[in-house]
Chains A and B, each alone.
Chain A
Amino acid sequence: MAYTEEELKKELETKEYEYGFYTDIESDTLPKGLNEDIVIAISKKKEEPDWMTQWRLEAFRAWQEMKEPEWANVKYKKPDFQDISYYSAPNKKPKYNSLDEVDPELLDTFKKLGISVDEQKKLAGVAVDIVMDSVSVATTFKKTLAEKGIIFCSISEAIQEHPELVKKYIGTVVPKKDNFYAALNSAVFSDGSFCYIPKGVRCPMELSTYFRINQAGTGQFERTLVIAEEGSYVSYLEGCTAPMRDENQLHAAVVELIALDNAEIKYSTVQNWFPGNKEGKGGVYNFVTKRGLCEKNAKISWTQVETGSAVTWKYPSCILKGDHSIGEFYSIAVTNNYQQADTGTKMIHLGKNTRSTIISKGISAGHSQNSYRGLVQVNSRAENARNFSQCDSLLMGNECGAHTFPYIEVKNKTAQIEHEATTSKIGEDQIFYCNQRGIDTEKAIALIVNGFSKEVLNKLPMEFAVEAQKLLEISLEGSVG
């Protein structure tokens, strides 16, 4: 019997979330609910200076005035913000110097994920700052980085040790009142990563963080701040896997990138939060604000592979402020079953001779809805701005939807903007061609999907490209070659 698309679909539907397991670690959790006291309590627990507490409170007050955004092309039950515990940290809150001190159960979790820390340590110079339920518990390669003057630590540590840098840059790209979820994050963010690359330094290794949601009923509010000083370079990797849960979990992260003159930041994400089961029950709500600021000649490149989450709402953006700055966005978004994704980018051209490229690939299967929403804005002073956008959608099956909402706003006559979008399915003749050459249908589909996404996969760093392919495989296919 030939392996048909129907069969593949059936197999995909029944495919369970492979990384669904739950680690039992004692957690130090605050009571559910959100008010000023909780915000103060979070700040206190983290032993933050007063300016930080005030900053959080301001954000909280602004948040109370705001309404949840409803414009996105997603439908979901709104989370009850009073039914969430806003802080949970692994109980024995130590700062480890070696892995032996780490809770063995925790290490076990990582092993199941296939990212054993000590192995990573030895592997190809990847420093891993693991965030497990909001507090970073292991930071490796710190010394190597310190020699170069690079600061790579958790944001709470940075607030303690480098308050001048945090104070100067936090909230400059994503203001605390930017939007509903950014304001919420600003008020209650529990932890996240901080990265500072000094002037002229090229970061010798890929920096990566693994975020995981672990404690039941705790939302994760990560805050990431990456600052690349003049002429520096950094490649930052972020990847997520989450255990299987029934209730919806909220994830509202904020990522701020600052690329000063001639600096370059490459930010790659593989997102694989729990997408809900095949009836669409459960799954993570992923409402993320990511934005980067480019000064003169700077470059920010976002690459993302989105395979997880029940609902995704995410628009990594570039503000091309400096002349000759460059913004890039490469994305693969895969949705299956009842997943919904509304994702895309914003390229704001302010400086002269700025360039941006957008490549977005959407793959929808099952009953999922996949939307691209992007904005290309050329300001009246942005002479010679150049943008190229391409949004391709691949539909598998007849129950899913693909949507494109590009916004193009141009106020300068020298701008050159191109936008293209196509929607297609896997052609029968393509599969037939493969069959003819002895490739079975399942492999053929895998091959075609892989080819479809290649443009973006190629942009990922080596270590991630492998993992990303693996994730595509889990969320969509039997076997990606």
Chain B
Amino acid sequence: MDLKDKLLSSFLAFENNMDLEHPVHEERSEAIKNFEEKGFPSKKEEAWKYTSLNNLQKVDFSIFPKQENSLEYKDIKKYFLHEIDTYKIVFVDGVYSSYLSETTHDGVDVCLMSSAFSKPMFRPVIDVYFNKAASKEESLTTLNTAFCREGAYIYIPKNKMPKKPIQILHLATGNEAALMLQPRNLIVAEQNAEVQIIERHQSLTDNEVFTNSVTEIFAGKDAIVDYYKVQNDNNNASLVDNTYISQKDSSVVRVHTFSFGGKLTRNNLNFYQDGERIDSILKGVTILGEKQHVDHHTLVHHAQPNCESHQDYKGIFGERSTGVFNGKIIVDKIAQKTDAFQQNNNILISDKATINSKPQLEIFADDVKCSHGCTIGQLDEEALFYLRSRGIPKKEATALLMYAFANNVLASVRIPELKARINKIIANKLGVRVGFEL
């Protein structure tokens, strides 16, 4: 039985455990229909030209892990940003772990989707926001919608800001079998609210793990949302991350994606600008080796005038790794005075590595400033010579230059401890010993 059939039949079992009267259930039935019709995307589709999910579909994934697995904090401490105090929402094999988590309802809601679905007090928010930004056409997103029941629920009311950043950690133990996880997150920052979120998926097993995650982010007027995705998983973990962001007037949303590992990672990052004077910032650092594959698929849809977007993705690809960047900017007819910028720089450091880049512009308004740049190249020979002439060996000099190349994306990270942590990962990856903090 292939994965699609398995999922479809599991849906029936899944339905039995759900409240069929709940309005969300209607969304689920609609969504599964769409998935049934479309199935898994194939390489024939333009959006999946460079990323194949064929191998994943051959794996016999367990969709509802039976066994509960408890973990000790000391074993997983390293996956947290433990240097600072944060709220934590931790899931083990898709199940919430209250023991490892720290949630709050003090002024802001940092809790779970399952309770947001079941408790009447969250109902107004669910009615207004749930599944409103996520695509109802894209097959993997609808697959997630069909099976949605757990994930992080973060609601920041007007003029509020949580006392500390929020960490969302999805752990997969999967000791007994290959595991498929489908977390669903909803993040709402109302007018003038602000929130910082760090998200990480981590597999703790040698078994295959396939995560198909959907996150919806709503930024109200003047709201500020910082979202950091840390992707440094092991080589048996695959991740399809679908993020949908809807922004209102004068809001700022920054999404940083740090991709350092995982067997296959696909990031679908979609921004919809539903207001004026919005700023959307998309940054990414990708450093890959082995046979890793990362596909960044971004969309910024400028639907209103006077908005900005800034994209900056840097990639370093070694060994047999593959990198894909597919950035799309759409400027609607009425979105005059749009300022959209997109940049993608790549360095290949191995003969077996591949990079496919496709920066796209679709522009329907005339009074706009849109540009994109894409480069694939090597390190500056002169800079290398400069370093070497000052006694730095070639290997270190190369590493230093690559470090500098990747590092400038970090300037906009607003949690210093996170910046330091990412810095360290980058330095480790490239084999540089940095004796200073940037």
A413 touches B353 (CB 8 A): yes
B371 touches A422 (CB 8 A): yes
Q: How far is the CB of A72 from chain B (nearest CB, A)?
A: 11
Q: What mask results when residues 348 to 373 of chain B are scored 1 for a CB within 8 Å of chain A, else 0?
A: 11111111111111111111111111
A421 touches B350 (CB 8 A): no
Q: How far is the CB of A281 from chain B (nearest CB, A)?
A: 23
By size class, the interface of chain B is 35 or more
A398: CB under 8 A from chain B?
Answer: yes
B354 touches A398 (CB 8 A): no
B377: CB under 8 A from chain A?
Answer: yes
Task: Determine the chain A residues whose CB is within 8 A of the CB of B360 once the complex forms.
Answer: 403-406
B358 touches A405 (CB 8 A): yes
- With A398-B333, A411-B354 known as contacts, the answer to whether A419 contacts B359 (CB < 8 A) is yes
B408: CB under 8 A from chain A?
Answer: no
B377 touches A396 (CB 8 A): no
B366 touches A395 (CB 8 A): yes
B59: CB under 8 A from chain A?
Answer: no
Complex: chain A residue closest to B376, CB-CB = A417
Q: How far is the CB of A410 from chain B (nearest CB, A)?
A: 5
Q: What mask results when residues 261 to 284 of chain B are scored 1 for a CB within 8 Å of chain A, else 0?
A: 000000000000000000000000
Cα-based distance from A398 to B356 in the complex (angstroms): 33
A395 touches B372 (CB 8 A): no
Q: What mask results when residues 390 to 412 of chain B are scored 1 for a CB within 8 Å of chain A, else 0?
A: 00000000000000000000000
Cα-based distance from A79 to B333 in the complex (angstroms): 30
B367 touches A416 (CB 8 A): no
Complex: chain B residue closest to A385, CB-CB = B376
Complex: chain A residue closest to B356, CB-CB = A409
A413 touches B378 (CB 8 A): yes
- With A404-B372, A417-B376 known as contacts, the answer to whether A410 contacts B359 (CB < 8 A) is no
B375: CB under 8 A from chain A?
Answer: yes
A408: CB under 8 A from chain B?
Answer: yes
Complex: chain B residue closest to A402, CB-CB = B363
A415 touches B376 (CB 8 A): yes
A109: CB under 8 A from chain B?
Answer: no
A22: CB under 8 A from chain B?
Answer: no
B387: CB under 8 A from chain A?
Answer: no
Task: Determine the chain A residues whose CB is within 8 A of the CB of B83 once the complex forms.
Answer: none
Q: How far is the CB of B179 from chain A (nearest CB, A)?
A: 33
A92: CB under 8 A from chain B?
Answer: no
Task: Determine the chain A residues whose CB is within 8 A of the CB of B363 once the complex forms.
Answer: 393, 395, 401-403, 423
Complex: chain B residue closest to A419, CB-CB = B374
Complex: chain B residue closest to A399, CB-CB = B333
B351 touches A380 (CB 8 A): yes
Complex: chain B residue closest to A398, CB-CB = B366
Contact partner, B368, options A396, A404, A419, A423, Cβ 8 Å: A423
Task: Determine the chain A residues whose CB is within 8 A of the CB of B356 once the complex forms.
Answer: 407-410
B75: CB under 8 A from chain A?
Answer: no
Q: How far is the CB of A308 from chain B (nearest CB, A)?
A: 23
A414: CB under 8 A from chain B?
Answer: yes
B382: CB under 8 A from chain A?
Answer: no
A397: CB under 8 A from chain B?
Answer: yes
B46: CB under 8 A from chain A?
Answer: yes
A410 touches B376 (CB 8 A): yes
Q: Which of B357, B359, B363 has the most CB of A within 10 A?
A: B363
Cα-based distance from A420 to B378 in the complex (angstroms): 18
Cα-based distance from A400 to B333 in the complex (angstroms): 9
Cα-based distance from A415 to B354 in the complex (angstroms): 11
A424: CB under 8 A from chain B?
Answer: yes
Contact partner, A402, options B354, B361, B376, Cβ 8 Å: B361
B355 touches A424 (CB 8 A): no
A406 touches B378 (CB 8 A): no
Task: Determine the chain A residues whose CB is within 8 A of the CB of B366 once the complex forms.
Answer: 395-398, 400, 425
A423 touches B361 (CB 8 A): yes
Cα-based distance from A170 to B111 in the complex (angstroms): 68
A418: CB under 8 A from chain B?
Answer: yes
Q: What mask results when residues 36 to 79 of chain B are scored 1 for a CB within 8 Å of chain A, else 0?
A: 00000000001000000000000000000000000000000000
B376 touches A398 (CB 8 A): no
Cα-based distance from A406 to B358 in the complex (angstroms): 5
Cα-based distance from A364 to B364 in the complex (angstroms): 10
A398 touches B372 (CB 8 A): no
B354 touches A409 (CB 8 A): yes
Task: Determine the chain B residues whose CB is within 8 A of the CB of A395 once the complex forms.
Answer: 363, 365-366, 368
A27: CB under 8 A from chain B?
Answer: no
Task: Determine the chain A residues whose CB is within 8 A of the CB of B373 once the complex forms.
Answer: 418-421
Cα-based distance from A417 to B347 in the complex (angstroms): 10
Cα-based distance from A422 to B371 in the complex (angstroms): 4
Task: Determine the chain B residues whose CB is within 8 A of the CB of A424 once the complex forms.
Answer: 368-369
Cα-based distance from A412 to B377 in the complex (angstroms): 10
Q: How far is the CB of A121 from chain B (nearest CB, A)?
A: 46
Q: How far is the CB of A370 from chain B (nearest CB, A)?
A: 10
Q: How far is the CB of A428 from chain B (nearest CB, A)?
A: 9
B374 touches A417 (CB 8 A): yes
A410 touches B354 (CB 8 A): yes
Task: Determine the chain A residues whose CB is within 8 A of the CB of B350 once the complex forms.
Answer: 413
Cα-based distance from A395 to B361 in the complex (angstroms): 13
A407 touches B367 (CB 8 A): no
Cα-based distance from A71 to B46 in the complex (angstroms): 8
Task: Determine the chain B residues whose CB is within 8 A of the CB of A421 once the complex forms.
Answer: 359, 361, 371-373
Cα-based distance from A409 to B378 in the complex (angstroms): 16
B376 touches A408 (CB 8 A): yes
Q: Which of A401, A405, A413, A420 has the most CB of B within 10 A?
A: A413
Task: Determine the chain A residues whose CB is within 8 A of the CB of B359 once the complex forms.
Answer: 404, 406, 419, 421
Complex: chain A residue closest to B374, CB-CB = A419
Contact partner, B377, options A398, A404, A407, A416, Cβ 8 Å: A416
Q: How far is the CB of A85 from chain B (nearest CB, A)?
A: 35
Q: What mask results when residues 362 to 400 of chain A are scored 1 for a CB within 8 Å of chain B, else 0?
A: 000000000000000000100000000000010111111
Task: Determine the chain A residues whose CB is within 8 A of the CB of B376 once the complex forms.
Answer: 408, 410, 415-417
Complex: chain A residue closest to B49, CB-CB = A407
A410 touches B348 (CB 8 A): yes
A415 touches B374 (CB 8 A): no
B371 touches A416 (CB 8 A): no
A401 touches B374 (CB 8 A): no
Cα-based distance from A411 to B50 in the complex (angstroms): 13
Q: List 12 A-B contacts (CB under 8 A).
A: A399-B333, A403-B361, A404-B361, A404-B372, A409-B354, A412-B351, A413-B351, A415-B377, A416-B375, A418-B377, A419-B374, A420-B371
Hey, which bits of chain B sit against chain A, CB under 8 A?
46, 333, 336, 346, 348-378
Given A417-B375, A420-B373, A425-B367, 15 other A-B contacts at CB below 8 A?
A393-B361, A395-B366, A404-B359, A405-B358, A406-B360, A406-B374, A407-B356, A407-B357, A407-B358, A410-B355, A410-B357, A413-B353, A416-B376, A416-B377, A422-B371
- Which 7 A-B pairs give the minimum distances between C-beta atoms? A413-B348, A395-B366, A417-B376, A419-B374, A408-B357, A404-B361, A423-B370
